[in-house]
């Protein structure tokens, strides 16, 4: 079984450096172009199922994939981004200026941080991993499934899968519009590709 973890494309908040958690922000024109490039690639996946976070930016990507492949979308709120609480919509500089202790703890040991009035990475990992396990258990070993989700969510799934301590969470980075491919052999999970953006190369040249 293969599971492809797809990060949504760019939004205006991404472009302006704002923290974007569960606030519902749509893709901008660049993000839409990235979504269409992902959908064209999805034609080669031989998909049997398509899951998505219910956020607008992920549903837009999923909708293009669904249009191109004919696979219906199933939404799961457990695939939503980290709830950033009071930090929704601020920039990194805002956090350094107004939440300096939290910023320092986040950089030193992200496992120690719970976002004010929001979630910790452990909270996110618990719900996202539960969704991942359910999706795996609900499909055949021969299936190929796409999950369209978010930066922190996908990274939390990967840290769980690879048994990376949450304190080392910052060792992973994930680009907008990227694809991470996992395969289950029946005995274990394998990471086939991580943070692949090759399908966006032609698009990136056009944007230069």
Per DSSP bridges, beta strands 2-7 and 179-184 are antiparallel
Q: How far is CA 69 from the centre of its chain?
A: 20
Token pair 């719970």 in the structure block, residue? 114
Write phi, then psi, for 21 (nearest 5 degrees). Answer: -105, -105
Q: Are the beta carbons of 158 and 191 closer than 8 angstroms?
A: yes
Terminal-to-terminal C-alpha distance of the chain: 37
Could you list the mean pLDDT of each consecutive 10-residue stretch along the chain, which spans 208 residues? 98 95 96 97 97 98 98 98 97 94 96 96 98 97 97 98 95 97 92 96 63
DSSP conformation class of 206:
H
Closest CA to 19 of 102, 108, 127, 112: 102
CATH among 3.40.50.1240, 2.60.34.10, 3.40.50.920, 3.40.50.300 for 2-207: 3.40.50.1240
Q: What are the sequence ranges of the domains in the chain?
A: 2-207
| 3-class secondary structure per residue, 19-30 | CCCCCCCCECHH
- 187, containing H or E segment: none
Within 10 angstroms of residue 194's Cβ, the number of other Cβ atoms is 18
Burial profile 136-164: b = 16 or more Cβ within 10 angstroms, e = fewer: beebeeebbbbbbbbbbbbbbbbbbbeee
Residue 207: its pLDDT value, please? 46
């Amino acid at each position: 079984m293969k599971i492809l973890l797809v990060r949504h494309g760019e939004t205006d908040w991404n472009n302006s450096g704002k923290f974007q958690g569960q606030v519902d922000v749509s893709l901008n024109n660049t993000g839409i172009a990235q979504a269409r490039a992902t959908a064209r690639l999805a034609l080669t996946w031989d998909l049997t199922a398509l899951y998505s976070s219910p956020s607008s930016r992920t549903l837009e990507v999923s909708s293009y994939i669904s249009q191109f492949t004919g696979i219906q979308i199933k939404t799961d709120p457990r695939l939503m981004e980290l709830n950033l609480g009071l930090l929704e919509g601020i920039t990194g500089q805002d956090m350094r200026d107004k939440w300096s202790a939290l910023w320092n703890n986040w950089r030193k040991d992200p496992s120690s941080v719970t976002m004010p009035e929001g979630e910790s990475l452990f909270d996110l990992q618990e719900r996202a991993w539960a969704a991942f396990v359910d999706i795996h258990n609900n499909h055949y070993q021969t299936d190929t499934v796409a999950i369209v989700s978010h930066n922190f969510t996908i990274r939390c799934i990967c840290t769980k899968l690879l048994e990376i301590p949450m304190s080392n969470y910052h060792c992973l980075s994930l680009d907008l519009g990227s694809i991470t491919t996992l395969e289950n052999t029946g005995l274990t999970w394998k990471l086939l590709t991580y943070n692949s953006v090759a399908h966006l190369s032609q698009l990136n040249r056009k944007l230069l």
